Amino acid sequence: MIPQNFEYATPNSLAEAFKLLGESNAKALAGGMSLIPLMKLRLAAPDKLIDLRNVPGLNSIREEGGMLRIGALVTHYELESSPLVRSRCPLLAEAASQIGDIQVRNMGTIGGSVAHADPAADYPASLHALEAQVKLAKAGGERTLAIGSFLQDTFTTALDAGELVVEISVPVEAAGTGVSYQKCVQPASGFAIVGVAARIRKSGGRIALARVGVTGLSGKPFRAANVERLLEGAAGSAGDISKAAAVVADGVDANNDLHASADYRKHLARVYTARALAAAARKAG
């Protein structure tokens, strides 16, 4: 199918973009890897498409105050290949490298992906494990939300009318932290049937920090705090990891669709949590 007719605008500043977004039924275009297919299926039918590619300041990656600050228009390929991201936040680079195919990674952006809030997207698991912050802006000002507050439900975020995601902030990883992103991939789309991101830091032979993010299992990604509690203070043995991974799906309302039943998704979540934790523990110094 082809989209219904729409107007197309390429603003040269955020102020111009905000003005255009205030018009009736306008949609922002970041990379287009989600919105364009929806328009072709006529599941989305904006009257005006606002392409953000010419807006300055949205495609930078910089280190500042112990954080990596990533512009909304940074592509998946730029994240996976950036020496700064690979050295300072390897978990995000690892997740970006597993998104879709090379065409999608060359065009798709982190801001567009996060704003779309697909429950099977790859970024949210890592962003939860990284305790990321999302910076939002509109004509009246800006605000910053934790990733867990921003991603509210399936395809639902905290974005207000006329508001844009402009930046994602993640911590610069401390030395000795091991990370891993593991997923069961849906082969046709590349999305995660279940994906798990893990961060482990050891001190004195014990796990001092454990962070686990999960995507694909339920209608929204989440941090597996129950898994983290079992790991912190433990030695990180195979038994510790197995015990912690076993509870990842406890109390979760798992998705049930043509790709996997709810029970199978829960099984996958336990398997891929164990794999991610084991890989991260091996890398932890």
Average pLDDT of the residues in 248-272: 97
Residue 226 has pLDDT above 90, yes or no: yes
User: How confident is residue 26, by pLDDT bands cut at 50, 70 and 90?
Assistant: confident
Which pLDDT does position 34 carry in this prediction?
86
User: How confident is residue 189, by pLDDT bands cut at 50, 70 and 90?
Assistant: confident
Q: Does an H or E element contain 71, and which?
A: strand 67-71
Domains in the chain, CATH or no CATH each? 7-51 (3.30.43.10), 61-171 (3.30.465.10), 177-283 (3.30.390.50)
State the helix-helix crossing angle for 238-245 and 262-283, rounded to 10 degrees.
150
d(CA 40, CA 94): 31
pLDDT digits (tens, 9 = 90+) for 127-150: 999 999 999 999 989 999 999 999
Strand, coil or helix: what is 284? coil
Q: Token match 């990604």: residue? A: 221
Sheet with 177-185: list strands edge to edge. 177-185, 192-203, 206-215, 222-223
Which pLDDT does position 3 carry in this prediction?
84
Tokens of 88: 């300072």
pLDDT digits (tens, 9 = 90+) for 52-95: 999 999 999 999 999 999 999 999 999 999 999 999 999 999 99
User: How confident is residue 11, by pLDDT bands cut at 50, 70 and 90?
Assistant: very high
- Length of the chain in terms of residues written: 285
* Bridge pairing between strands 48-51 and 26-29: parallel
d(CA 38, CA 26): 15
d(CA 202, CA 76): 30
Which pLDDT does position 25 carry in this prediction?
87
Residues 6+ apart with CB under 8 A from 81: 93
Residue 204 has pLDDT above 80, yes or no: yes
| Complete DSSP assignment for 17-49 | HHHHHTSTTEEEESS-TTHHHHHHTTS---SEE
Q: Token match 């962003």: residue? A: 127
- Confirm if 60 and 19 have CB atoms less than 8 A apart: no
Which pLDDT does position 112 carry in this prediction?
95
Nearest to 60 by CA among 46, 75, 45, 50: 75
Residue 206 has pLDDT above 80, yes or no: yes
